[in-house]
Structure 1
Amino acid sequence: MNLINKKVTHKRFGMGSIVQHNDSSIEIHFATETKKFVYPDVFGEHLILHDKSVANSLEKIIQKKEMERKAEEWKKEEEKKLQRKNQELRLEHEKLMKKHKLHPESQMVFWCDTEEQSRSLSEWQVFSGEIKSGTNKGKPNKPIRLHQNSAVLLTAIDSDIPEKDRRILGVYMVNEEFIGKLCEDGNIPAHSKYRLQLTEQESDQMLFWKYYVNEKTPHKMTWNTGKYRYFDNLWMAQILLDIVSLKSDPKERELAQQFFEHYCKMNQITDRELPKPDGALMRI
């Protein structure tokens, strides 16, 4: 809008003529001096345009800017509310972390069926399944033992292969913010960095029952039912250490080593005192 030479009246400085303006300021020459004002804020209460047609057009611009200003204020207020909510969640999270005590079996091994094998390794997430009976039937299982110190082991076995040959496909630490007690949807996402996938050749060398044992029936290798089970923190450390030695690619080996060290730190495990694997396969 061109306002140059338009006549105006200011309630303090009297009549004048617009000599310059841009999107943020306007300059007006009055009888004895030239003044600069904020544009378009000065119009309305302080400054009146003589040209009614231009004044109407300017009023629409002012209304539009006022709506934009209110929208911006609303946006900022919503951002403040979101920040307050996030702060409350962080405080709740920190409180849970302070109260958290390491459970000796806070790791998860997951049985991937054929469809889940590729999906779990591409999406780096597993679903804990649904409750089968009772008042909560149909609701997702809450993986209550899983915390920031937990890792999820992905395993699989072909239908025509004996259980003792169950293979390890990969492993990941749970997401940095994950707390099993707060998990409502049953989805267990992976850490942004600590996740390892094994090649088929590597997987053939990493048999789950080399590490895992049911202490009640130490010589039996049976899964029975369910998609997952918890297992010992030390066993996961043994698995990670063996993956480190298995990796030949320097970058993958370095990541595996960092994963192992991070895991041991989170689970207060001294790697030098780590016992050798003594799963059911080692007891035959």
Structure 2
Amino acid sequence: MTLTKSLKKSIPHIVLLIYVAIILFPFVFVLFSSLKADNVEISQAPFAFPKKLFFQNYSDAWVQAKIGKYFFNSAYLALSSAVVGVLVAAGTAFALTRMKFRVTSKAVYGLVLIGMLIPGNVLFIAQYKLMMDLHILNTHWSLFLPYTAGALPFSVLLISAFMKSIPSELEEAAIMDGLSAAGLFARIILPLTVPALVTVFIINFLGNWNEYLLANFFISKDALRTLPTGMVGFRDAYQTNYALISTGIVFSVTPVIVMYAVLQKQIIEGLTAGSVKG
């Protein structure tokens, strides 16, 4: 009987391990390929560990194929827009949930919900025309502004759900101590909302990091390209060199994997804390 119960408990773990193995298998193949000397070694033993670790591929891809430049453009655009978006969303969520603006809060919250219903790609033409009217096409501003604004609806909803779970007694005690609204937000509410802020930041960062449509049409200068669009040219230029192509793929997915591995606990807390406490 005990053996049967143990077996039943083990089945979900076994299924998940199989699922993880299936998901990781393509990445392991790409990682091994990026460390092989040439196409011959890849074709002869596509799934085998490299005979000799050929790190020169990473140097060639980073410098000669300009992956380093594209990587930097994506990193600072994704990081800056995610940080600004989180701060703006946190301020908006604070005004909606902790300040007494009943009519205005309902109106703004309704606009946020409407924003959630509109697919981002539907706004492409309007965004393009707006960037053109602002004369910022072919600059990083044409990506920074849509990235920041596009993430606000989801960010505001998630942070608002978390802020609603914060006890009002903390707010009342802070006001009794003489804190202003700005002080209450910066010194009390914001530190308590860190799990939700981290979750929103990660989601926004990854969305910006992987974004292709706007980056492809709004940026034409090679020096300003982000990693997703730069990888297309990289693939075309080195389509016969599978080792270098694999190296470029490793560069593009490594930040995502590292971020999830390091901050997975904060992601789960941010997504679940508001619903559990509320």
Bin for the TM-score computed over the shorter chain:
under 0.3
Asked which structure has the greater CA Rg, the reply is 1
**Greater RCO structure (CA 8 Å; 6+ sep):** 2
Structure with the larger helix share: 2
TM-score when normalising by structure 2: 0.22
